[in-house]
Chain A
Amino acid sequence: IAGITQAPTSQILAAGRRMTLRCTQDMRHNAMYWYRQDLGLGLRLIHYSNTAGTTGKGEVPDGYSVSRANTDDFPLTLASAVPSQTSVYFCASTRLAGESNEQFFGPGTRLTVL
């Protein structure tokens, strides 16, 4: 693994189903983030984690949960998917307190909820 990866690349999901989007980074970054990107709305923060074992809510957390059991992995779970959760989901990471806190983004997961 080099950098930050996400799986799956895309997914079509029936409403009401449970879904976990995976995110893994090998840069030993302490902070990780989940965003969703929708046309006309830009990138919006769903949840974040500044260090392993801690998580926080972003701008649009409802319907989503996260966990951060270790430094590398930050899965995002939709407990019961709804059509409004159709979006492109980006995971990002950064080394907080570095020179610029630049966030590195994964390639994204395109999720369609029918």
Chain B
Amino acid sequence: GQNIDQPTEMTATEGAIVQINCTYQTSGFNGLFWYQQHAGEAPTFLSYNVLDGLEEKGRFSSFLSRSKGYSYLLLKELQMKDSASYLCAVEDSGYALNFGKGTSLLVTP
């Protein structure tokens, strides 16, 4: 079975740094994805990790530890437009994505 956990909600201040954690227990692992989804819109790709370590892409970074079943998404220099849901998803051996329930991030002035 698949079990992917992430916090339901987080709040952070504009300009700050926020870390969104994701833990997973899945049957099969081909990689871990982070998606951003603004209200009423489709999810959009943020990052992909298949090996342990940190992947950096501008203000966003994603970390993976396969042995611990753990990932985090780090958002730096927060902007108001970063208010959105952040979805953690594990790709299983059949190439299907198994999504967590998402973390709703609110960025305040």
Contacts and interface: CB of A to CB of B under 8 A. Distances in A.
Interface of A: 31, 33, 35, 40-45, 48, 50, 56, 58-59, 90, 94, 96, 100-108
Contacts of A56: 94
Interface of B: 30-31, 33, 41-45, 48, 50, 87, 89, 91, 94-102
A4 to B, nearest CB: 9
Given A90-B43, A101-B30, A105-B44, A44 B99 contact: yes
Nearest to A42: B101
Contact of A33 (B45, B96, B102): B96
Contacts of A101: 30-31, 48, 91, 95
14 contacts: A31-B95, A33-B97, A42-B87, A42-B100, A45-B97, A56-B94, A94-B95, A100-B31, A100-B33, A101-B30, A101-B31, A105-B44, A106-B42, A108-B42
